[in-house]
Amino acid sequence: MIQDFKVKPLFGDQFHERHQFTLNINGCNYQGIYHDGEIQWFHPQPINKLEKDDFEDLELDVYDLMTDHINNQGFKVKPLFEDQFHERHQFTLNIEGDNYQGIFHNGKIQWFHPQPETKLEEDDLRDLESKVYDLMTNHAYQDINVKPLFEDQFHERHQFTLNIEGDNYQGIFHGGEIQWFHPQPNAKLEEDDLQDLESKVHDLMTNHLEQ
């Protein structure tokens, strides 16, 4: 599983612009250059440490991550009516040269003009809305805050806080388990949404503790 995936541009806005990436997999750090759909690995080469199938899966994952990163560089979010009951999030993004804007609230997308449905086929529109949903959900999780409790003691725990679509949640993470404070998210979320939330918190907390 890829962790700590980071990207930075090289030779920004120049003809020979490239993207350098770093990642961690199975506790090993790897770096490389991505350009025109090709990956050039730095030393150490992951092919020397991974089985052939695992290496091929890794390159496919890096390709998907880099493609998403490059396609979504124009993705921006700003809150509307911040800290108010009717808070919403406005987003803008560029897909293949076309700019789109909309409002995201309670898992729903309200598009501004121009409507992407006037330019996209039905399948492409569904893919776009799925991408916006994923981007907005990931954006919400960027605001997770963590602090240790009983630091460096046997019973050390980690308290986290996060905001999902205007709702604040807090809890304790320990031994891979989540203990929610009040209000309990299961009072507001469907079972599938709660499972997605707990899976995301688990991944974020695990990454945080491994850093």
Give tens-digit pLDDT for 2-30: 777 888 777 544 445 678 888 888 788 99
Measured CA distances, 87 to 116, 164, 167 (Å) = 24, 11, 10
What is the residue range of 197's domain? 145-210
Both 51 and 97 in one domain: the answer is no
Both 96 and 110 in one domain: the answer is yes
DSSP conformational letter for 42: -
Residue 140 has pLDDT above 70, yes or no: no
Both 157 and 117 in one domain: the answer is no
Given 39, 71, 103, which residue is the final one in a domain? 71
Domain count, the chain: 3
Give tens-digit pLDDT for 33-71: 988 778 999 988 999 988 999 899 899 888 878 876 665
Cα–Cα distance for residue pair 55/49, rounded to 1 Å: 9
Contacts of 22 by beta carbon, 8 Å cutoff, 6+ apart:
4, 5, 6, 29, 30, 31
Both 15 and 55 in one domain: the answer is yes
Which residue has tokens 């963590």? 146
Both 64 and 80 in one domain: the answer is no
Both 131 and 170 in one domain: the answer is no
Residues in the chain: 211
Given 71, 97, 125, which residue is the final one in a domain? 71
Both 176 and 200 in one domain: the answer is yes
CA atoms within 13 A of residue 152's CA, in its CB half-sphere: 0
Give tens-digit pLDDT for 85-137: 445 778 887 766 677 888 887 678 889 877 888 888 888 888 888 878 777 76
Nearest Cα to Cα of residue 3 among 20, 26, 19, 21: 26
Q: So what's the pLDDT on residue 42?
A: 92
Both 82 and 123 in one domain: the answer is yes
Give tens-digit pLDDT for 151-202: 666 667 888 887 766 677 889 988 888 999 887 888 877 888 788 788 878 8
Both 53 and 86 in one domain: the answer is no
Measured CA distances, 193 to 34, 72, 162, 198, 210 (Å) = 34, 24, 15, 9, 26
Both 156 and 131 in one domain: the answer is no
Cα–Cα distance for residue pair 204/195, rounded to 1 Å: 14
Both 37 and 52 in one domain: the answer is yes
Which residue has tokens 């999902």? 164
Both 6 and 20 in one domain: the answer is yes
DSSP string, 20-38: EEEEEETTEEEEEEEETTE
Q: Which two tokens stand for residue 106?
A: 């309670």
